[in-house]
């Protein structure tokens, strides 16, 4: 049995619905946790297997199942078997290279999108695929690895008076998406600072490191655009959905997420224009620096042309050159050299060539 593949292209030749994990293999143990709650109570457990989920599913509570890690295909397969999830959806959950999208089925909804974080505060972006299954009073969240991105939601559920506790499973899906997409604004702030720093370098002292930073940001922006731009279509599809699993009240909340996504997408577009402009500025700065260097070299070359001519004339070995017999010929020649150089430098300054 195939354990894991690095690229989706490696699945070539397999039948549709083949359940194989595609993506990075993270060094952690896969875990299943359940949070069962309503307005008056909440219960949290870590489960040993998928079979342990079933007792928590009741008509008067919301059951939130969080699966951290996708390497164990049998867990995903068992969830699909118990809850009637199509094999193609399970295949998409296991393939972490999915494009963000929304799919509407008769008894459940499937949403996949990206959680995005920055590493070490620079332009290195880390991507994590998050898949959501919305069923009647049940929400499945599939993540690539354990992290704290959902902790703010869990903390809100721990508050007895929390508005979240009194809402349905569709509202929980909204809160999950809103929490993840709000993290994009931290990404935006970091890119603002990075681009501003690079702009300052371009105006003062552009170096090869500046060009490397520009190229790195440009590459990351391509990946970010690929991961974030489809959110516009995804959220619009949610708003158009007529599924009974989504209430009209919750759709209004998704409109707010749509607005946030549009702001991020517009920021990415502006960054792309800025980076293109910065590349042009960098090339212009390097060209200007080279022109300045060539101008200085040309000035020195021009200064030495008449001096070289005079030195060449009096370096000839003719017998009858009266100046060679003059007592003050050598000092006079130096005076001429200095005078010519001074006149040329003064001429260059008047013409603003220096």
pLDDT recorded at residue 1: 45
- Low-confidence residues of the chain: pLDDT under 70: 1-3, 120-123, 354
Question: Is-contact 150 179, C-beta < 8 A?
Answer: yes
Distance CA 21, CA 23 (A): 7
Long-range (24+ apart) CB contacts under 8 A made by 38-47 are 38/62, 38/165, 39/165, 39/166, 40/160, 42/157, 42/158, 42/165, 44/154
Q: Answer yes or no: pTM beyond 0.95.
A: no
Domain boundaries, the chain: 292-350
Which pLDDT belongs to residue 277?
A: 86
Structure tokens at 274: 């800025």
Report d(CA 249, CA 170) in Å as an integer: 10
Which H or E run includes 203? helix 169-204
pLDDT at site 350: 82
Cα 137 to Cα 107: distance, rounded to the nearest angstrom? 11
The predicted pLDDT at position 285 comes to 77
| Residue bearing tokens 């940001």 | 217
As given in the structure block, the two tokens for residue 7 are 């690229």
For 166-183, how does the pLDDT look when each residue is reduced to its tens digit (9 = 90+)?
999 999 999 999 999 998
Q: For residue 308, what pLDDT is reported? A: 86
pLDDT tens digits along 307-344: 888 888 777 777 777 777 777 878 888 888 888 888 88
> 181-225: per-residue pLDDT in tens?
998 998 888 888 888 888 888 877 888 888 888 888 888 888 899
Tell me what pLDDT residue 293 has: 78
Q: Please tell me the predicted confidence (pLDDT) of residue 199.
A: 84
Q: Which pLDDT belongs to residue 2? A: 54
The token duo for 295 is 């101008």
Query: Under CATH, what is the fold of the domain 292-350?
Result: Methane Monooxygenase Hydroxylase; Chain G, domain 1 (1.20.58)
Q: Which of 24, 28, 17, 31 is nearest to 85 (CA)?
A: 17
Cα gap 93→21, rounded to integer Å: 9
């Amino acid at each position: 049995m195939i354990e894991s593949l690095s690229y989706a292209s490696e699945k070539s030749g397999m039948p549709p619905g083949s359940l194989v994990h595609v993506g990075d293999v993270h060094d952690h143990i896969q875990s299943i946790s359940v949070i069962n709650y309503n307005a008056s109570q909440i219960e949290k457990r870590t489960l040993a297997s998928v079979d342990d989920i079933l007792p928590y599913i009741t008509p008067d509570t919301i059951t939130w199942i969080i699966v951290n890690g996708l390497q164990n295909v049998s867990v995903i397969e068992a969830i699909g078997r118990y809850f009637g999830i199509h094999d193609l959806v399970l295949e998409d959950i296991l393939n972490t290279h999915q494009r963000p999208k929304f799919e509407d089925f008769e008894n459940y909804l499937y949403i996949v999108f990206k959680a995005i974080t920055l590493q070490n505060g620079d332009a290195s972006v880390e991507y994590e695929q998050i898949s959501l299954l919305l069923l009647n009073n049940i929400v499945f969240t599939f993540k690539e690895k354990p992290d704290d991105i959902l902790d703010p939601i869990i903390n809100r559920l721990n508050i007895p008076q929390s508005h979240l506790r009194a809402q349905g499973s569709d509202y929980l899906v909204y809160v999950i998406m809103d929490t993840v997409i709000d993290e994009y604004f931290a990404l935006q702030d970091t890119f603002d600072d990075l681009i501003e720093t690079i702009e300052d370098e371009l105006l003062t002292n552009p170096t090869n490191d500046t060009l490397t930073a520009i190229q790195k940001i440009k590459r990351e922006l391509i990946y970010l655009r690929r991961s974030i731009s489809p959110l516009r279509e995804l959220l619009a599809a949610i708003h158009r959905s007529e599924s009974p699993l989504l209430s009209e009240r919750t759709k209004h909340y998704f409109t707010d997420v749509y607005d946030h996504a549009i702001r991020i997408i517009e920021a990415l577009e502006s960054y792309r224009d800025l980076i293109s402009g910065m590349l042009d500025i960098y090339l212009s700065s390097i060209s200007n620096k080279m022109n300045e260097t060539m101008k200085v070299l040309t000035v020195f070359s021009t200064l030495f042309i008449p001096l070289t001519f005079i030195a060449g004339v009096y370096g000839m070995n003719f017998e009858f050159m009266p100046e060679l017999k003059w007592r003050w010929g050598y000092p006079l020649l130096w005076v001429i050299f200095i005078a010519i150089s001074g006149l040329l430098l003064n001429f260059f300054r008047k013409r603003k060539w220096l």
